[in-house]
Amino acid sequence: MKLAVAALLAGSAAAFAPSTLGGRSATQLDAHQLSITNMKLAVAALLAGSAAAFAPSTLGGRSATQLDARKPFITGNWKLNPQTRDEAVQLAADIAASITDASPDADVALFVPYVFLEAAMGAAGDKLMVGAEGVCPEINGAFTGAVSTSMLDSVGVKWALAGHSERRVIFGETDEYINGQCKKLIDQGMAVILCIGESEAEYEQNLAGAVCAVQLKKGLAGIAKEDLDKVVIAYEPVWAIGTGKVATPETAQSVHATCRSIVAEIYDQEAADGMRILYGGSVTPESVDELMAQADIDGCLVGGASLDSTKFGRIINFQA
């Protein structure tokens, strides 16, 4: 393009060079002016093409600027597994070994039972992060069985889950309790994955967007925009967790886009564009690539497959 512009500019210079003719007719002058006009239009078109060449490219529905802004995040939730410390150490080590120089440039984290936190951290080394599956929104006091943010922070834990559907349904954790967890983690300088999602009945009634809106607005209440770098959202359709059912990539993308629009409504578009939104719900090696190719899916929160180092290794090494 530079050579083409140079040639055109050279043509321009030649056009303005003194004529060897003793004089020019009106027809010659008109032709000369038309030549200059055409040349200017050609230069403008080339420059416009140059600008277009630097516009954000689109890859799999996601622009290059979006890819740069939202680093993929692959996470595993072990739940009430495994049953021994030795199994936890082996599993964490095997998963860490699946992360190589050829792996995608993504953050990876494991959320493990409290008793395995330090052992898993030691086994994983610096290959991935290890977080807690939950936390109490209180710092101290008469809360038997609870674990505080300061306790987690003291052993090097920097992430925790909040709002997982199993905690909501089985343990009765409310939106207000979950919001307290989020705020306490942020106050401690830690980060949180806020889980949201609808039940099968709500999904069948086309209420996914409404349910996610309520859970997001209540979960993020009182959290300032400047603290959103410590928040990740995980959309988990409850009907897909542990059932083997997976929302189609198109369905998941649609809900993720809705969640992003809700974040924009609560804060602004800049906050929405920067928010990482993960998909959780029976993610497998077979489904991960198509899910990760969607524009608004920035990662996965994986349950059962994270207990198999081969399967989870393939998910970590997604191809989108």
Which are the catalytic amino acids? 164, 236
Instruction: Give 304's DSSP letter.
Output: G
Side chain identity, residue 72: P
* Residue for token pair 């401690």: 188
Nearest Cα residue to 197 out of 169, 231, 170: 169
H helix intervals, the chain: 2-16, 26-53, 64-69, 85-97, 117-124, 149-154, 165-169, 175-187, 200-204, 208-219, 249-266, 269-274, 288-292, 309-316
CB atoms within 10 A of CB 129: 19
Give the span between the Cα atoms of 195 and 193, in whole angstroms: 6
Using alpha carbons, list the distances in angstroms from residue 165 to 44, 161, 226. Answer: 57, 11, 27
Question: Is residue 287 classed as helix, strand or coil in its secondary structure?
Answer: coil
Single-letter code of the amino acid located at 249: P
Contact 95, 313 (CB under 8 A): yes
Question: Distance between CA 114 and CA 118 in Å, rounded?
Answer: 8
Q: How far apart are CA 60 and CA 319, in angstroms?
A: 11
The identity of residue 69, as a single letter, is A
| Six token digits for residue 36 | 């200059």
- Give the three-class secondary structure for 281: coil
CA distances to 222, 265, 315 from 182, rounded to whole Å, are: 10, 19, 27
Q: 189 and 157 in contact (C-beta within 8 Å)?
A: no
